[in-house]
Chain A
Amino acid sequence: QKEVEQDPGPLSVPEGAIVSLNCTYSNSAFQYFMWYRQYSRKGPELLMYTYSSGNKEDGRFTAQVDKSSKYISLFIRDSQPSDSATYLCAMTAHTGGFKTIFGAGTRLFVKA
């Protein structure tokens, strides 16, 4: 079993839709949770960063962490064609050194 599971998609939605992207993980030591957006032939860029459980909102993006269920989500409201990209979840455990694991990414297409 992989430490982080992420549905690769692709996920295709119409412009304006609410998008929900999710990851599950198995290691309860993870404390820091991140979402990255990666456009084709570019490096990943950090979108959202949260510590422990709870919600964090930034413009059209909301990140949720449920540590009891080992489940994290990224919601995109009013999705735009420019949101078409691959979204990677990542999580870090800081236990004597640190360990970061990335999900394989979900490919999102937002159709105009």
Chain B
Amino acid sequence: DAGITQSPRYKITETGRQVTLMCHQTWSHSYMFWYRQDLGHGLRLIYYSAAADITDKGEVPDGYVVSRSKTENFPLTLESATRSQTSVYFCASMGDAYGYTFGSGTRLTVV
């Protein structure tokens, strides 16, 4: 299916565990992004990537790691999950124009 796919849709993990959220896009868009969405804060950029092997920090990068070895994949890893990282995570890509296409999100709960 064409589009942007996130997995898993839901995840519960324990404090201190490493968690990886997956993102895959089928368009070969250069830019990809990870956002978190929290009540009262809206969407906040965690990391973004301009191309394979090029990544940069966003507004709230602490505690997160990204990689982009292939254009179509942009995984986000929480190295040691904390309760403050409980959130809904959205992956997005951007083509030629400046509009984003978002995935359906991963709802992460850290207990």
A102→B43 contact, CB < 8 A: yes
A34→B42 contact, CB < 8 A: no
Name the B residues within 8 Å of A32 (CB-CB): 98
Tell me whether chain B's interface is mostly helix, strand or loop, or mixed: strand
Closest to A33 in B: B98
A43→B98 contact, CB < 8 A: no
Name the A residues within 8 Å of B90 (CB-CB): 43-44
Name the B residues within 8 Å of A92 (CB-CB): 98
Closest to A98 in B: B98
Chain A's nearest CB lies how many Å from the CB of B39? 9
B27 contacts chain A at the CB level, 8 A cutoff: no
B47 contacts chain A at the CB level, 8 A cutoff: no
A29 to B103, CA, bound (A): 28
CB 8 Å contact bits of A73-87 with B (1 = contact, 0 = none): 000000000000000
Name the B residues within 8 Å of A102 (CB-CB): 35, 42-43
Partner of A105, one of B42, B92, B97, B102: B42
CB 8 Å contact bits of B85-111 with A (1 = contact, 0 = none): 000001010000111111111010000
Closest to A6 in B: B42
Additional A-B contacts beyond A90-B100, A102-B42 (6; CB < 8 A): A34-B100, A41-B105, A43-B90, A88-B42, A103-B42, A104-B42
